[in-house]
Every structure is written in C-alpha cells, then in structure tokens.
C-alpha cells in the first residue's frame, strides 16, 4: 500500500507584516499534489505576497510552509529547480530577443548544459505559441507576447509545480483559451498548477480546487464542485410555458420564452409531474452557483467594501 503523496504546497499560520500593515494573517493553505488550484481574492488581499513567500522571494514574519514536501525557504536550492514561476509579470532584458533571453535564463538554470539548450528553448517557445517569433527585441513585444514568454521561461526545466500570478494578463480571448488548454495538458502530465488570478471565469474553467483570501485572511478553501452548490432553482424548457406555469403555481419565479424557472421542487419531482400532466420537457437544468456568486457572497461588492473600509483595498 503506497503512502499518500505530500501536498504540493502546505502553509500553516503564514503571516507577513510590513511595519504596522499585516498583508497576510495566519494563513493555512493546502494545495494537493496534482491539483489545478485557483487562488482568488480582491486587489490588495495578499495573494501576491503569499506567492512571493512561497517562492522565498520575501520572508514570512511567522508561520511555516513546505513546497514539494520541503521546508521553505530553507530548502530553496533543492526545491526551486522543480518549480516554474511567473509572478507580477515577466522581466527580461528588453534589448535581447525572446530566444536570446530564454537561452540566458537556461544557462543559469539547473539543466544549463549547452547541448540541450536549443531544444529546451524551442520546445518552451512552441508550447506557448511563440515558436514563430522573429528576432525582434523583447521591448518590441506586446504585453500578451511578454506574458507568453514569461510562461515559456517557467516551463524551461519541466517543473513539477507551476506557480502563476495572473498568467493571462494582456491576452485576448483566444490566447486565454490556448493557455488554459496548455495548463490542462501540463496538469494531465502530472504538473501541479497553482494559479493566482482575479479572472473568475478563467479559474472556474480551469481549476479543480479554489481558495479565496480577503484582507490577508483565508475565507474558504474547497474543491470547485463543493463550492458551486445548487441554488435551489430549476430551469424547465418546454413548448408550453403557460401550461407549465399553471402546473407549478407558486413554485414559478420567472417565465421567459420557452423557459420556466422554478424554486423549491426537486428535479425528479418536476419531471414526474410534467409526465403525469402530458407536458413535454425539452430540457430540465439545475441551476448552480457560479464562482462569481460565491466570490461576491464571501468578499462583498465594491460598494459593500467601501462602506465598511472607506476605500476598496
């Protein structure tokens, strides 16, 4: 019987203060190995500070953390070669071409042998759809191209863990979809993906697990299906919405074209009642909360936050 794999990330009581300001407070976080983990929070909620602590870029005021089963930052030299990261946007020498920048980065990496460098760079560029890029300097790249190049840098050495902070910033919808497909493929190959983002639809379409932080504190952490619970409403699509509305009476909360929205009765009972009444059912859908519904319920709207705190953090 094999032992369960250690979490890819484990933090306990993680706290970071800058003078009198506490950016992250007593954060407990577990990222299962092999997960596609979404790390969400409003602007100023402590997401990037947390990511920087996990990577050893800033030191925690107190608390403990492990990355890939090793204590951080003490084991950074052993751990970081297996971690690909894109944090706060990519930074490259702007006078170099993308290829030259990746070659320089590869030379400083754990697999910096010259023999395989060309292949590693070309494979990384191909994975982010930059293999056809010319030799123009990075300063001439669009924001989206720089984001792709940053992701290529994170993939150079076949990481076991990817830590990404807003990786689709500046990408158009097609580019976002391409990056999502890439991350899904990497995850299928065993790479754990930790994604910090404010794009709720992006996280909902990609992630298996989600944590929400607000004002430096963890609000909730769970699997995505567990968070997106049913709302208690059903959408019944039928050719005779008037008959359906009459059949279900007070349970009807809305009628639009061929759709009748019901609240209260379970789907199985609605289906049985329709069959008994001779009412054709074209579709019966259980409404579930979206990630946006959950996020707003946990953190409040912009006006809610201003009314309590004066400004939106």
User: For residue 198, what are the CA distances in angstroms to 1, 25, 132, 165, 169?
Assistant: 40, 20, 30, 10, 10
Q: CA-based diameter of the chain, in Å?
A: 75
Q: Which two tokens stand for residue 243?
A: 């008959």
The per-residue pLDDT for 307 is 36
The stretch 290-296 carries a mean pLDDT of 90
d(CA 163, CA 155): 11
The per-residue pLDDT for 13 is 96
The per-residue pLDDT for 208 is 95
30 pLDDT exceeds 80?
yes
Residues 6+ apart with CB under 8 A from 3: none
In tens, the pLDDT along 92-102 reads 777 888 888 88
In tens, the pLDDT along 31-49 reads 999 999 999 988 888 999 9
The stretch 122-141 carries a mean pLDDT of 86
Q: Which two tokens stand for residue 118?
A: 């060309």
β-strand 21-31 against 217-223: which pairing, if any? unpaired
Of 199 and 74, the one with more pLDDT: 74
d(CA 303, CA 8): 37
Q: Which two tokens stand for residue 98?
A: 């993308």
d(CA 183, CA 197): 14
Q: Got the DSSP string for 174-230?
A: HHHHHHHHHHHHHHHTT-EEEEE-S-HHHHHHH-SEEEEEETTEEEEEEEHHHHS-E
The stretch 138-163 carries a mean pLDDT of 88
| Sheet with 21-31: strands ordered across | 21-31, 9-18, 62-67, 70-71
Do 299 and 42 touch, CB atoms closer than 8 A? Answer: yes
d(CA 286, CA 232): 8
Q: Which two tokens stand for residue 267?
A: 């789907």
| DSSP type of residue 97 | B
Do 247 and 277 touch, CB atoms closer than 8 A? Answer: yes
- According to DSSP, the residues that pair with 27 across neighbouring strands are 14
The per-residue pLDDT for 145 is 85
Domains, the chain, with CATH or none: 9-223 (3.40.50.300), 230-288 (3.30.70.100)
Least confident of 64-68, 130-134, 266-270: 130-134
pLDDT-derived band at 168, boundaries 50, 70, 90: confident
195 pLDDT exceeds 90?
yes
pLDDT-derived band at 21, boundaries 50, 70, 90: very high
The per-residue pLDDT for 250 is 94
């Amino acid at each position: 019987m094999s032992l369960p794999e250690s979490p890819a990330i484990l933090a306990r009581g993680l706290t970071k203060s800058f003078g009198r300001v506490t950016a992250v407070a007593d954060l407990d976080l577990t990222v299962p190995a092999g997960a596609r983990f979404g790390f969400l929070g409003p602007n100023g909620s402590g997401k990037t500070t947390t990511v920087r602590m996990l990577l050893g870029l800033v030191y925690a005021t107190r608390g403990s953390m492990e990355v890939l089963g090793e204590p951080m930052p003490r084991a950074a030299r052993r751990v970081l070669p297996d971690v690909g990261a894109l944090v706060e946007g990519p930074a490259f020498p702007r006078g170099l071409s993308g290829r030259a920048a990746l070659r320089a980065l590869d030379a400083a990496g754990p697999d910096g042998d010259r023999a395989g460098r060309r292949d590693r760079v070309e494979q990384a560029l191909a994975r982010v759809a930059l293999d056809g890029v010319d030799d123009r300097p990075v300063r001439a790249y669009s924001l989206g191209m720089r984001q792709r190049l940053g992701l290529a840098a994170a993939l150079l050495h076949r990481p076991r863990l990817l830590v990404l902070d807003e990786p689709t910033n500046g990408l158009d919808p097609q580019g976002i979809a391409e990056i999502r497909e890439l991350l899904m493929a990497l995850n299928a190959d065993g790479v754990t993906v930790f994604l910090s983002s404010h794009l709720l639809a992006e996280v909902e379409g990609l992630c298996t697990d989600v944590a929400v932080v607000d004002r430096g504190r963890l609000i909730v952490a769970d699997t995505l299906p567990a968070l997106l619970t049913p709302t208690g409403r059903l959408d019944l699509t039928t050719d005779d919405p008037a008959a359906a509305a009459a059949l279900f009476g007070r349970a009807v909360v809305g009628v639009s074209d061929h759709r009748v929205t019901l609240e209260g009765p379970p789907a199985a009972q609605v289906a049985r009642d329709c069959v008994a009444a001779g009412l054709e059912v074209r579709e019966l859908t259980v409404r579930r909360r979206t990630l946006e519904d959950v996020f707003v319920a946990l953190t409040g709207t912009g006006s809610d936050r201003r009314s309590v705190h004066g400004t939106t953090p």
